[in-house]
Amino acid sequence: MNLGYILLIPLIPLVVFLLLGIFNQRIKPAISGYIGVFGLLVSTILSCYAAYQYFFVHGKVNGVYQTFVEKTVWMNFSDTLHIDMGIFIDPISVMMLVVVSTVSLMVHIYSRGYMKGDDGYTKFFAFLSLFSFSMYGLVLATNLFQIYIFWELVGVSSYLLIGYYYTKESAVAAAKKAFIVTRFADLGFLIGILIMGYYTGTYDFETLNDPEGNAILNWASTSFMGLSVLTWGLILIFIGGAGKSAMFPLHIWLPDAMEGPTPVSALIHAATMVVAGVFLVARLFPMYYFIEDGFALNIVAFVGAFSALFAAIIAITQTDIKRVLAFSTMSQLGYMMLALGVSGYDGHEGLGYMASMFHLFTHAMFKALLFLGAGSVIHAVHSNYLKDMGGLRKYMPITNITFLIAALAISGVPPFAGFFSKDEILVAVYEHNKLLYFVGVFVAGLTAFYMFRIYFGIFWGKETKYEHKPHESPISMTFPLLFLALMSILGGFIPFSDFVTADKAGFEAHLNYPLAAVAVVVGLIGIVLAWVFYKKESDLADRLANFFGPLYQWTSDKFYFDAIYLFITKKILFKRVAAPIAWFDRNIVDGTMNLIGNSTVKTSEKIKGMQSGKVQDYAFAFMAGVVILAIVFVYLWAE
């Protein structure tokens, strides 16, 4: 398989970035938009071509997808350890190429409308291209070292994009928070890489992941505190992944990151960058699975499940629609981690792995759609808050329909994409651990509930008095919505298990009808509850009430119903469950992180007296230092 052209996929956005970055002031905004879109379009076409070539023409040999690696030795680190640079082609990297390209292209097109008139227009497109380049590099990395470089580059471009509205104090703070928190997690990643390098003698994915290879066969040779050092390495690497993928308790940056422009949220904080952690675990999946019987993998599963539940509960109480989507993203990422965590390796055993990648794919489409839809709404009403919205379906028909499709997809309603991928996840979890399965199903219900809560809140419900009459967004913004909606409808029909599996051999996946039915019913209950609670004061409600006549009469009194609702939601759900969890998140989890930061600053404040400005004091400190070192190392610690 000729890999030369694949190198172009990341290089084109890099060139665009340099072009726009260097000639920032000299390029007309309108043209810079076209340059950005065009560059990404070429990359997208190449990605799709690569996917076609790989999956249908060259990739499969004897029923197994091959791994193609093109690399050069980049640095001889010591006699045994060397670092390579290159591109790595296997099912998940090709799939990620398609995901990143598609979403990035849509976001580029969308941004032409959304960012119109903004004075940093060119800079914005430059940053978007930088991000695309870094993300492609991350996906194509051949070894841990290379992935780490692009991992950080992705972090840098995310930092720049979140802080894009630099006049807004909160955006600047959020950008910094995101960067520091993920760097904090990368601390674990970095140490994990060092451990891997030293105990296995290689950074290379191909060598590390070989089930017959040295790393996997000899994991038991060195242990530390009762676990294999490699397990420690994997746990540390997972901490890095958890930081990027916003797993509890490292998720605190994600909701704040919503201060960035909405297209950025769609691209980075929904579809691509945040799945990097999931991708990382998937990339090292054979190691996670085989080493110490998947000890590290169990941690992945439980962290994923907990994050999914935790975030879904918080999402119910949020009033800023972008924050709802942020918590929803965290929850869905938890799903993906959970699926990876319960997966096996061979054939149908590897259902969880395949389901996770499948969900990554479909989620990228419908979550990007949700964000872009939300952006379209925010563009129209100039507010992020639910209270400023309502009844918008009349003004924004396209946004309404596409948002509805995405909401149905994420709620797991057939035949939309989310139904298929979520069903596979739940089946995989069911076969592994019943408790986690119930968590998964419950989260599915919550997802449907909060998603339709905002859907009804935005497009139906009480008509808000708007200062300016809201109008539908321009074609540059609605085209991506329509395209992504199409993907959200069709995406589920892709036979993923033929293409992306843990052992790369493919297997036949079937719908598990009873479990699918359970998931759908729970999802529908969520939707219905949201409908009952939030679709008030609309004519449809009255018509339905008439239609269901006796039934509605029986539940009769709206006030009575509201009282139950108030009791159940406000008193129990909000006050006793969701609000405390949200409080816990805001005060304890955030607080702990802030405490670490603040205490560092305070310590710094306290010791400032040491630097007095007097030479005598300095001489004293010097001599004291000598004497202390002498006493300690000549007498006390001498060997």
Partner 1 sequence: MNIDSLLVMRQEISLLAIILLLLVAEIFMAKNKKHSIVHLAIFLFGVHTLVGFLPLTENSLFGGMFRTNGLIHFFKNVLNIGVLILLLQSADWLQEKIVSQNKGTEFFVLLFSSLLGMYFMISSGDFLMFYLGLELSTLPVAALAAYETANRKSSEAGIKLILSSALASGVSLFGISMLYATSGSIYFADVIELITATQLTSLGAILFFAGLAFKISLVPFHFWTADVYQGAPISIASYLSVISKGAAVFILMILLFTVLKPLIHVWENMIYVVAVATMFIGNLFALRQQNMKRFLAFSSIAQAGFILLGLIAGTQLGMATVVYFVLIYVFSNLAAFGVVQAISLQTGKEHIKDYEGLYRTNPNLSLVMMLALFSLAGIPPVAGFFGKFFLFTAAASEGYYFLVFLAVVNVTISLYYYLLVVRAMFLRKSDTPIPFFKNKIYMRIGLIITVIGILILGLYSPLYDHIYELSGNFNR
The minimum distance between CB 600 and partner 1, in angstroms, equals 6
The minimum distance between CB 196 and partner 1, in angstroms, equals 11
Q: Which of 14, 187, 518, 545 binds partner 1 (CB under 8 A)?
A: 187
Angle in degrees, CA 461, 462, 464, rounded to 5: 125
Q: Decide: 97 and 10 in contact? Cβ < 8 Å.
A: no
The reply on whether position 221 binds partner 1 by CB under 8 A is no
Q: Which of 467, 539, 557, 639 binds partner 1 (CB under 8 A)?
A: 639
Size of the site for partner 1 (CB under 8 A): 60
Q: Decide: 366 and 409 in contact? Cβ < 8 Å.
A: yes
Q: Which of 76, 221, 587, 598 binds partner 1 (CB under 8 A)?
A: 76
The reply on whether position 31 binds partner 1 by CB under 8 A is no
Nearer to partner 1, 75 or 540 (CB): 75
* Euclidean distance between CA atoms 447 and 443, whole angstroms: 6
Stretch that binds partner 1, among 50-58, 124-132, 455-463, 626-634 (CB under 8 A): 626-634
Q: Which of 31, 45, 521, 629 binds partner 1 (CB under 8 A)?
A: 629
Of the candidates 83, 97, 186, the residue with the CA atom closest to the CA atom of residue 143: 83
Nearer to partner 1, 85 or 579 (CB): 85
Nearer to partner 1, 568 or 626 (CB): 626
Nearer to partner 1, 153 or 525 (CB): 153
Nearer to partner 1, 553 or 600 (CB): 600
The reply on whether position 153 binds partner 1 by CB under 8 A is yes
Within 349-388, which residues bind partner 1 (CB under 8 A)?
none
The minimum distance between CB 198 and partner 1, in angstroms, equals 6
- Output phi, psi for 613, to 5 deg: 95, -5
The minimum distance between CB 27 and partner 1, in angstroms, equals 14
* Euclidean distance between CA atoms 566 and 404, whole angstroms: 26
Nearer to partner 1, 30 or 596 (CB): 596
Partners of residue 86 on adjacent β-strands: 71
At 184, list the tokens. 């904090």
The minimum distance between CB 358 and partner 1, in angstroms, equals 31
In sequence order, the 6+-apart residues with CB closer than 8 A to the CB of 14 are 129, 130, 133
The minimum distance between CB 512 and partner 1, in angstroms, equals 44
The minimum distance between CB 357 and partner 1, in angstroms, equals 27
Q: Which of 5, 77, 548, 567 binds partner 1 (CB under 8 A)?
A: 77
What secondary structure does DSSP assign to 456-469, as a single string? HHHHSSSPPPPSS-
Within 193-212, which residues bind partner 1 (CB under 8 A)?
194-195, 197-198
Q: Which of 90, 152, 503, 585 binds partner 1 (CB under 8 A)?
A: 152
Q: Which of 175, 342, 351, 489 binds partner 1 (CB under 8 A)?
A: 175
Partners of residue 73 on adjacent β-strands: 84
Q: Which of 78, 510, 539, 609 binds partner 1 (CB under 8 A)?
A: 78
The minimum distance between CB 290 and partner 1, in angstroms, equals 24
Nearer to partner 1, 147 or 481 (CB): 147
Query: Strand, helix or coil at 64?
Result: strand
Nearer to partner 1, 175 or 305 (CB): 175
Task: Tell me whether strands 223-224 and 82-89 are parallel, antiparallel or unpaired.
Answer: unpaired
Q: Which of 24, 319, 553, 598 binds partner 1 (CB under 8 A)?
A: 24
* Euclidean distance between CA atoms 608 and 610, whole angstroms: 5
Of the candidates 531, 489, 519, 529, the residue with the CA atom closest to the CA atom of residue 369: 489
The minimum distance between CB 142 and partner 1, in angstroms, equals 15
In sequence order, the 6+-apart residues with CB closer than 8 A to the CB of 375 are 110, 114, 262, 263, 265, 266, 477
Angle in degrees, CA 336, 212, 142, rounded to 5: 55
Angle 434-459/397-410 helices, nearest 10 degrees? 170
The reply on whether position 190 binds partner 1 by CB under 8 A is yes
The minimum distance between CB 286 and partner 1, in angstroms, equals 24
Of the candidates 180, 392, 165, 360, the residue with the CA atom closest to the CA atom of residue 275: 360
Angle in degrees, CA 232, 351, 214, rounded to 5: 40
- Output phi, psi for 223, to 5 deg: -130, 160
Q: Which of 166, 547, 560, 567 binds partner 1 (CB under 8 A)?
A: 166
Within 400-459, which residues bind partner 1 (CB under 8 A)?
none
In sequence order, the 6+-apart residues with CB closer than 8 A to the CB of 529 are 449
Q: Which of 60, 116, 183, 536 binds partner 1 (CB under 8 A)?
A: 183
* Euclidean distance between CA atoms 166 and 155, whole angstroms: 17
Nearer to partner 1, 572 or 626 (CB): 626
The minimum distance between CB 60 and partner 1, in angstroms, equals 35
Of the candidates 173, 161, 366, the residue with the CA atom closest to the CA atom of residue 273: 161
Angle in degrees, CA 274, 277, 281, rounded to 5: 150
Within 222-251, which residues bind partner 1 (CB under 8 A)?
none
Q: Which of 397, 415, 495, 625 binds partner 1 (CB under 8 A)?
A: 625
The reply on whether position 149 binds partner 1 by CB under 8 A is yes
Within 580-619, which residues bind partner 1 (CB under 8 A)?
597, 600-601, 603-605, 607-608, 610-611, 613, 615, 617-619
* Euclidean distance between CA atoms 43 and 55, whole angstroms: 18
In sequence order, the 6+-apart residues with CB closer than 8 A to the CB of 86 are 69, 70, 71, 72, 142, 146
First to last CA, the chain: 61
Of the candidates 405, 145, 366, 194, the residue with the CA atom closest to the CA atom of residue 271: 366
The reply on whether position 23 binds partner 1 by CB under 8 A is no
At position 18, the amino acid (one-letter code) is L
In the complex, which residues of this chain contact partner 1 (CB under 8 A)? 24, 74-78, 148-149, 152-153, 156, 160, 163, 166-167, 171-172, 175-176, 179-180, 183-184, 187, 190-191, 194-195, 197-198, 597, 600-601, 603-605, 607-608, 610-611, 613, 615, 617-619, 621-626, 629-630, 632-635, 637-639
